[in-house]
């Protein structure tokens, strides 16, 4: 048995030994297509020469300088890239080492903003059920992933309350139009503001496209406009968590660009550094930074490895490659192909309830029966079975759902690198379709 603490303490996972482009190679010598970039992380695939060269050059120049004393060139450049041309008034960036740290920073900056502008009574956050914002205690308290929260409920902050997500596949009533469903969700959010007292709310926080907990669920048109309007009316901030869905994954640099609104604070991570280094961050609007600057003049938060020079150099290179190789265009084109191929292969499958996503961020929700949307028994761990069957066929994909909350089906995420080719999309769908067939056979 391994001495390392793995996710499962009962079985050891395969050992990944090397990666090149879209492929990973394990210790058994197996070649596997990285069909989900881990958890939608590896946006350029593996061993991209430009990113490796940028990291090496940075390491030879400067590996570390503490941010209490210095800034560094790569962090400054990354901030310029991420907010320099951003729509929506985002003007500043803060970089840390993960998505959870990014969410912690967002929550704390939002609270500090209201302290600085003389509204200390704002102490509450509204988040959504069936969401995930990270595994640190603050981010876990914000999230609505029942399975991950359950063991820690007694030690989670009660500053967070949760409203329904926008999950049309299951939650829109048969007698409701899209507009009526969105209006119902907006009314629920408004009622939660009223219940708490509108001037006690710091922010509403949501994933722009829900990642792991629901499986690539985008909101219906008009939902985020309604949310933005409610936050504005009550003077609260809007925090959008784009750790999974952002930085190009959905076909635009920011997923919120497709919603016709902008957040006050945005959380980014996975696609920022593409997995080459651990890096996350927040992108912040001028309004919030001005509030802090005019008040105490400092962000009362920070970590030893924030704005790490090598992590930032890797992320700069990743972002430059995305631009130079016009990869957002490829995300949109290949995303369309992925949708079409998935629909051809699985659209009429008796156990496929929904195929959904944006850009190169797609999920297939598996159900016992299509018409009634009845879920499989979570004990069957069907999503895990799909993962295993896919791996045996040379495809890595990301399984979720099932055990998280019994009301939902199992879902499996596909999120290939932005560099994926048409032929590779076809192979991914072929292997994935075969894996789903094999997993559901006999259940």
* Footprint on residues 246-265 left by ligand PMP (CB under 6 A): none
Q: Which tokens go with 431? A: 């292997």
Q: Which residue lies nearer to ligand PMP by CB, 244 or 390?
A: 244
Residues 163, 201, 226, 243: which binds ligand PMP (CB under 6 A)?
Answer: 243
Between residues 98 and 277, which has the closer beta carbon with respect to ligand PMP? 98
Distance in Å, CB of 39 to ligand PMP, minimum: 5
Which residue number, 318 or 367, has a Cβ lying nearer to ligand PMP?
318
The distance of closest approach from Cβ of residue 437 to ligand PMP in the complex, given in angstroms and rounded to an integer, is: 28
Q: How far apart are CA 408 and CA 397, in angstroms?
A: 19
For 139, the 3-state DSSP assignment is: helix
Tokens of 361: 């961020």
Site string for ligand PMP, 385-414 (x = CB under 6 A): ------------------------------
Handedness of CA 154, 155, 160, 162 (dihedral sign): negative
Cβ distance to ligand PMP smaller for residue 352 or 415: 415
Pairing of strands 217-218, 209-210: antiparallel
What is the closest distance, in whole angstroms, from the C-beta atom of residue 97 to ligand PMP in the complex? 8
Residue among 43, 38, 21, 23 at smallest CA distance from 272: 43
For ligand PMP, give the closer residue by CB, 211 or 433.
211
Please give the Cα distance from 107 to 110 (Å, whole number). Answer: 5
Residues pairing with 144 in the sheet:
none
CB of 262 to ligand PMP, least distance (A): 18
Number of residues that bind ligand PMP (CB under 6 A): 16
Closer by beta carbon to ligand PMP, 213 or else 330: 213
List binders of ligand PMP among 312-331 (CB under 6 A).
Answer: none
The Cα 438–Cα 229 span in angstroms is 47
Residue, CB closest to ligand PMP: 99
Q: Which is nearer to ligand PMP, 100 or 330 (CB)?
A: 100
Rounded Cα distance between 88 and 424, Å, is 35
Cβ at position 102, least distance to ligand PMP in Å: 7
Q: Using CB under 6 A, which of the segments 75-83, 104-112, 178-186, 240-248 binds ligand PMP?
A: 240-248
Q: What sign results for the dihedral spanned by CA atoms 400, 240, 416, 44?
A: negative
Burial zone of 320 (CB within 10 Å; 0-12 exposed, 13-18 middle, 19+ buried) = middle
Min dist. Cβ of residue 179 to ligand PMP (A): 27
**Crossing angle of helices 327-346 and 422-440, rounded to 10°:** 30
Q: Output phi, psi for 393, to 5 deg.
A: -100, 10
Token digits for 442? 């006999």
Which residues within the stretch 33-52 sit at the binding site for ligand PMP (CB under 6 A)?
Answer: 39
Positions 93 through 152 that interact with ligand PMP (CB under 6 A): 98-100, 103, 132-134
44 or 239: CB nearest ligand PMP: 239
Determine whether 439 is exposed, middle or buried from the number of CB atoms within 10 Å of its CB (0-12, 13-18, 19+). Answer: buried
> What distance in Å separates the CA atoms of residue 224 and residue 182, rounded to the nearest whole number?
9
Considering only residues 177 through 206, tell me which ones interact with ligand PMP, judged by CB under 6 A.
none
Binding site for ligand PMP (CB under 6 A): 39, 98-100, 103, 132-134, 207, 211-212, 241, 243-244, 269, 280
């Amino acid at each position: 048995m391994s001495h390392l603490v793995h996710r499962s303490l009962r079985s050891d996972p395969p050992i990944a030994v090397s990666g090149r482009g879209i492929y990973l190679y394990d210790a058994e010598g197996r070649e596997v297509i990285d069909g989900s970039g881990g958890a939608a992380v590896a946006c350029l695939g593996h061993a991209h020469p430009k990113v490796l060269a940028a990291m090496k050059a940075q390491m030879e120049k400067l590996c570390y300088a503490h941010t209490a004393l210095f800034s560094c060139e790569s962090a400054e450049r990354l901030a310029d890239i991420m907010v320099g041309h951003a729509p929506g008034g985002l003007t500043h960036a803060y970089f840390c080492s993960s998505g959870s740290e990014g969410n912690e920073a967002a929550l704390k900056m939002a609270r500090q903003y209201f302290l600085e502008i003389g509204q200390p009574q704002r102490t509450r956050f509204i988040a959504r059920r069936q969401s995930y914002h990270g595994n640190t205690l603050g981010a876990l308290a914000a999230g609505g992933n029942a399975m991950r929260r359950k063991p820690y409920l007694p030690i989670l902050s009660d500053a967070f309350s949760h409203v329904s997500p926008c999950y049309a596949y299951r939650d829109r009533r048969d007698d409701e139009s899209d507009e009526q469903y969105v209006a119902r969700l907006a009314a629920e959010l408004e009622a939660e503001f009223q219940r708490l007292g509108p001037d006690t709310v710091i922010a509403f926080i949501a994933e722009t496209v829900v990642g792991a907990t629901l499986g690539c669920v985008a909101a219906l048109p008009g939902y985020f406009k309604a949310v933005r309007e409610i936050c504005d009316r009550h003077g609260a901030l809007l925090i959008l968590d784009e750790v999974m869905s952002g930085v190009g994954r959905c076909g635009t640099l920011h997923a919120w660009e497709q919603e016709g609104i902008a957040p006050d604070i945005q959380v980014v991570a996975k696609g920022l550094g593409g997995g080459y280094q651990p890096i996350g961050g927040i992108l912040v609007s001028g309004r919030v930074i001005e509030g802090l600057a005019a008040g105490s003049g400092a962000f009362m938060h920070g970590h030893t490895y924030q704005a790490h020079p090598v992590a930032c150099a890797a992320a700069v290179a990743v972002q430059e490659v995305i631009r130079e190789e016009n990869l957002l265009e490829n995300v949109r084109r290949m995303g369309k192909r992925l949708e079409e191929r998935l629909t051809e292969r699985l659209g009429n499958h008796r156990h496929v309830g929904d195929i959904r996503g944006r850009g190169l961020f797609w999920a297939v929700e598996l159900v016992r029966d299509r018409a009634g949307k009845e879920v499989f028994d979570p004990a069957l761990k069907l999503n895990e079975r799909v993962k295993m069957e896919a791996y045996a066929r040379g495809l890595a994909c990301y399984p979720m759902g099932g055990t998280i909350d019994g009301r939902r089906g199992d879902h499996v995420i596909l999120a290939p690198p932005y560099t994926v080719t048409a032929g590779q999309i076809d192979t991914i769908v072929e292997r994935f379709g075969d894996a789903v067939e094999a997993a559901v056979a006999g259940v």
